[in-house]
């Protein structure tokens, strides 16, 4: 789960990371009020969407008067901001952050990620801040430094000093960098975050380090114990189908092909998508109904999968262990009838109560395309899509 920049900044501030004074606004009038309350002469108006690259796309504007703050907020709110991370349709801006503009002397990159190889939190830092770190890593790999943290002893001061000195932070900046790194590390550990990125970490007022941007992503599987983080969730930034699916205890993942997949279990989902691809097709999405799926759950699964207009056929692939094929079949029949499904539905059932399940489908009088095994099912689904 991702949160907005202003939320990440509030969180990091509570851990002792310096951030510019500012507040979120949902309307241009509120944005102007925030600027007046903050005082000063220059403000930055920043579109709050769950994507980076806003600066280059016009989503970060420097305002020299409260009138300008109001104008920029008015332009941004309700518009779709297209950045290199949003895709061509962009993201709808519904909140802006208004904060003090600071005079930047230098910009650095500071990131914390979980490195899958070492299975450890790794600090990534660069003297080339404000830019895309992936790009810097390609063009100037010598400017990117990494330090892996041993989870048993945590991030040590000497490691922070090593990272800070590698990117050229010296003198008064050094102890500040150490404090900031340790604060972010504590935040990540406490809040079950997967990634935290400060880009840029800037030097302002000659010798003050401050986080001018912040991005934090959290582990969805830990949200049940992270109530504060859960409360920051912005459903408008998520795929409505994924939100609806999670409400029904289903896992939905959107992809870009034409075959909707209803399966049980993530492993079977992968195998199903491989089989579709092998037959020359592409999955539009996959929906994992999990174990012990009731007929109602299966009906909901069909409805969610069909909300994607690019779905031309549905492939149901169930290998029932805890599940029961007769329940799955009942759910599919219910869905076919109540949702008036026009798209062809290829069904492969195996495992618990498979005979009852097949019998129900055969005697339903509905036009299910039944398949004997995964290969057969994938072949049939691709064939119907290709007409």
Q: How far is CA 60 from the centre of its chain?
A: 21
Span of 45-53, 86-94, 226-234, 368-376 interacting with ligand ADP by CB under 6 A: 45-53
- For 35, list phi and psi in degrees, rounded to 5: -60, -45
Q: Which residue number, 137 or 334, has a Cβ lying nearer to Mg ion?
A: 137
CB of 351 to ligand ADP, least distance (A): 48
In the range 104-123, which residues lie near ligand ADP by CB under 6 A? 104, 107
Whether 6 is catalytic is no
Among 337, 334, 303, 325, smallest CA distance to 370 is for: 325
Among 101-109, 195-203, 239-247, 322-330, the segment contacting Mg ion (CB under 5 A): 195-203
Least separation, in Å, of the C-beta of 231 and Mg ion?
Answer: 24
* 11 vs 360 by CB, closer to ligand ADP: 11
Nearest to Mg ion of 149, 167 (CB atom) = 167
Q: Is 21 exposed, middle or buried (0-12, 13-18, 19+ CB in 10 A)?
A: middle
Residue of 260, 264, 351, 267 lying closest to 307 (CA atoms): 260
How many Å apart are CA 85 and CA 213, to the nearest integer? 16
Instruction: Give the H/E segment covering residue 165.
Output: helix 157-166
Contacts of 36 (CB under 8 A, 6+ apart): 66
Active-site pick, 109, 185, 242, 252: 109
Binding part of the chain for ligand ADP, among 49-57, 68-76, 233-241, 316-324 by CB under 6 A, reads 49-57
Q: How far is CA 170 from CA 18, 161, 162, in A?
A: 18, 9, 11
197 as an active site residue: the answer is: yes
Of the ranges 82-90, 197-205, 330-338, 352-360, which one interacts with Mg ion (CB under 5 A)?
Answer: 197-205
Does 199 bind Mg ion (CB under 5 A)? Our answer is yes
Tokens of 382: 């691709």
- Minimum gap (Å) between residue 5 Cβ and Mg ion: 8
User: What count of residues does the chain have?
Assistant: 387
48 lines the binding site for Mg ion (CB under 5 A): no
**Least distance to Mg ion, CB of residue 209, Å:** 15
Long-range residue pairs from 159-165, CB within 8 A, at least 24 positions apart, any chain: 159/123, 160/123, 163/123, 163/125, 164/125
Q: Which of 54, 70, 241, 330 binds ligand ADP (CB under 6 A)?
A: 54
Q: Which of residues 88-107 bind ligand ADP (CB under 6 A)?
A: 99, 101-102, 104, 107
Query: Which residues does residue 286 pair with via DSSP β-bridges, in sequence order?
Result: 253, 261
Q: Applying CB under 6 A, what is the total number of residues that bind ligand ADP?
A: 18
Q: Which does 147 bind (CB under 5 to 8 A by kind): Mg ion, ligand ADP, none?
A: none
Q: Catalytic residue numbers?
A: 109, 197
Footprint of ligand ADP on this chain (CB under 6 A)? Answer: 20, 44, 46, 52-55, 60, 99, 101-102, 104, 107, 130, 199-200, 212-213
């Amino acid at each position: 789960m991702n949160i907005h920049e202003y939320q990440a900044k509030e969180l990091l501030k509570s851990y002792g990371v310096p951030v510019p004074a500012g507040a979120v606004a949902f309307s241009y009038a509120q944005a102007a009020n925030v600027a007046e309350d903050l005082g000063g002469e220059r403000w930055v108006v920043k579109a709050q969407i769950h994507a980076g690259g806003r600066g280059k796309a016009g989503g970060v504007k420097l305002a020299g008067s409260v009138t300008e703050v109001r104008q920029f907020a008015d332009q941004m709110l309700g518009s779709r901001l297209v950045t290199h991370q949003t895709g061509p349709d962009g993201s709808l801006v519904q909140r802006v952050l208004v904060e003090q503009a600071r005079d930047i002397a230098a910009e650095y990159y500071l990131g914390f990620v979980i490195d899958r190889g070492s299975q450890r939190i790794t600090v990534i830092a660069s003297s080339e801040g404000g830019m895309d770190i992936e790009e810097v890593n390609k063009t100037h790999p010598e400017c990117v430094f990494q330090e892996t943290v041993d989870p048993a002893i945590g991030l040590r001061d000497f490691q922070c000093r090593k990272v800070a000195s590698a990117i050229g932070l010296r003198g008064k900046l050094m102890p500040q960098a150490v404090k900031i790194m340790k604060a972010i590390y504590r935040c990540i550990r406490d809040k079950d975050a997967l990634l935290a990125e400060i880009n840029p970490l800037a030097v302002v007022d000659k010798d003050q380090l401050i986080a001018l941007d912040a991005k934090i992503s959290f582990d969805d599987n830990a949200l049940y114990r992270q109530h504060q983080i859960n409360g920051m969730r912005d459903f408008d930034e998520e795929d409505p189908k994924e939100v609806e699916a999670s409400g029904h205890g289903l896992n939905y993942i959107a992809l870009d092909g034409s075959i909707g997949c209803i399966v049980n279990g993530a492993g079977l989902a992968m195998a199903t998508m491989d089989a579709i691809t092998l037959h020359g097709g592409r999955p539009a999405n996959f929906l994992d109904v999990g174990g012990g799926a009731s007929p109602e759950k299966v009906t909901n699964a069909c409805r969610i999968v069909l909300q994607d207009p690019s779905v031309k056929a549905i492939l149901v692939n169930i290998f029932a262990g805890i599940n029961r094929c007769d329940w799955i079949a009942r759910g599919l029949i219910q869905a076919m009838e109540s949702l008036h499904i026009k798209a062809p539905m290829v069904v492969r059932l195996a495992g618990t109560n498979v005979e009852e399940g097949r019998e129900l489908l055969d005697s339903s009088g509905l036009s299910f395309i039944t398949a004997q095994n995964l290969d057969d099912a994938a072949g049939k689904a691709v064939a119907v899509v290709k007409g």
